[in-house]
């Protein structure tokens, strides 16, 4: 069975199969000197003085409004848990193809899916192998490598704790009660999808793409990566390359945050580019409501004339299905429910 990793390991590639050649790969723009990626000191949120806490909540609100993206430092996920998670996921991809094969050709809501990025309608492949695991409210894990279960369970639990604290801060930044999002979105029983992306070195990085421009479906995505950069986000109409600090967690707003906040906090469009030197590994957890929850703009954020509801209600499950069939085309999925 075919994977990008398998293709690269077969021999010294000097070109790439035509299905990987993209008509256009958006070029990154230089991050201008005045633009600094928002950095959030998580410890000030959880154990800062009241003033520090208010300031950081304000900064999270600004980051959501102006970027839809920020970098969290001094958070509560131990470095060892992050390092072990990166190692365990790398070991998963190192398994023989037939060992990973049982997770291939699976459907969206199957507990575990392994594969290579492909856009059926465009008949194009992306330079990325992935593993997607539904880890909450029901925990799942591939049974190999043996350490994967325990490590991913710990990492995903820690990621949920960070997300939940961020949901509190975001609720307050919107003038809502602290528990608003956690309660309204039933986060305690909510959906958490683990997405691991492997981008092997690509001999023609300028004409291939790891992940094309898209926004994420959930409320928030938390992302960690190995030391290799490749994530780019759109900010003020330009592509900005993100080089995170070691041990930080990148956070971005997803489509459901945009729906719930009635467009006050928009989901951010991002992509993953590839390089010809080193393998990049990224681990995302998408945090969303319960699958059968119908999400619509929060009534508190809808106001007749000035803020009419901008999106119709849709269940998270249905939204994920629509997004899957839309195959990662910018924010086209959200356009379908825009009023």
Query: What separation in angstroms does the CA of 11 have from each of 49, 52, 337?
Result: 57, 54, 46
Residues found near ligand AKG in the complex (CB under 6 A): 195, 197, 211, 216, 223, 230-231, 270, 272, 282, 284
Q: Which is nearer to ligand AKG, 225 or 261 (CB)?
A: 225
Q: Which is nearer to Fe ion, 260 or 272 (CB)?
A: 272
Residue 195 touches which member of Fe ion, ligand AKG, none, C-beta under 5-8 Å by kind:
ligand AKG
Residues 274, 202 contacting (CB under 8 angstroms): yes
CB of 225 to ligand AKG, least distance (A): 6
CB of 215 to Fe ion, least distance (A): 7
Q: Which is nearer to Fe ion, 200 or 230 (CB)?
A: 230
Q: Which is nearer to ligand AKG, 191 or 197 (CB)?
A: 197
Q: How many residues at the interface with Fe ion, by CB under 5 A?
A: 1
Residues 222, 285 contacting (CB under 8 angstroms): yes
Strands (E), the chain: 39-41, 69-73, 112-119, 124-136, 191-199, 211-214, 220-225, 231-235, 238-241, 249-253, 270-272, 280-288, 294-295, 314-315
Q: Count of CB atoms within 10 A of residue 162's CB?
A: 22
CB of 205 to ligand AKG, least distance (A): 14
Residue 285 touches which member of Fe ion, ligand AKG, none, C-beta under 5-8 Å by kind:
none
The Cα–Cα gap between 214 and 267 comes to 10
The Cα–Cα gap between 151 and 270 comes to 28
Q: Which is nearer to ligand AKG, 117 or 190 (CB)?
A: 117
Give the footprint of Fe ion on residues 187-216 (CB under 5 A).
216
Distance from first CA to last CA of the chain, Å, rounded? Answer: 43
CB of 232 to ligand AKG, least distance (A): 8
Contact set with Fe ion (CB under 5 A): 216
């Amino acid at each position: 069975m075919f994977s990008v990793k398998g293709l690269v390991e077969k021999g010294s590639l000097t070109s790439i199969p035509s299905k990987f050649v993209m008509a256009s790969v958006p070029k990154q723009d230089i991050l201008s000197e005045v633009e600094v990626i928002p950095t959030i000191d998580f410890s000030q949120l959880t154990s800062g003085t009241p003033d520090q806490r208010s300031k950081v909540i304000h900064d999270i609100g600004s980051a959501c409004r102006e970027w839809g993206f920020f970098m969290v430092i001094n958070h509560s996920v131990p470095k060892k848990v992050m390092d072990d998670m990166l190692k365990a996921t790398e070991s998963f991809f190192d398994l023989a193809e037939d060992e990973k094969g049982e997770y291939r050709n699976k459907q969206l809501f199957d507990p575990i899916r392994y594969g290579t990025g492909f856009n059926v309608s465009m008949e194009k492949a992306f330079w990325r192998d992935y593993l997607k695991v539904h880890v909450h409210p029901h925990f799942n894990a591939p049974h190999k490598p043996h350490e994967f279960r325990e490590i991913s369970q710990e990492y995903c639990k820690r990621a949920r704790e960070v997300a939940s604290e961020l949901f509190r801060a975001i609720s307050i930044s919107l003038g809502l009660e602290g528990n608003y999002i956690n309660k309204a979105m039933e986060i305690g029983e909510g959906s958490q999808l683990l997405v691991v992306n492997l981008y092997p070195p690509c001999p023609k990085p300028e004409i291939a793409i790891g992940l094309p421009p898209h926004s994420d479906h959930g409320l928030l995505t938390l992302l960690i990566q190995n030391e290799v950069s490749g994530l780019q986000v759109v900010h003020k109409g330009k592509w900005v390359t993100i080089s995170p600090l070691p041990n930080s967690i990148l956070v971005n707003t997803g489509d459901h945050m945009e729906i719930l906040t009635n467009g006050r906090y928009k989901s951010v469009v991002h992509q993953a580019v590839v390089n010809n030197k080193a393998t990049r590994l990224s681990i995302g957890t998408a945090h969303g409501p319960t699958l059968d929850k119908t999400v619509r703009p929060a009534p508190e954020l809808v106001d007749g004339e000035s803020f009419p509801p901008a999106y119709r209600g849709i269940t998270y499950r249905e939204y994920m299905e629509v997004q899957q069939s839309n195959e990662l085309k910018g924010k086209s999925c959200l356009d379908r429910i825009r009023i």
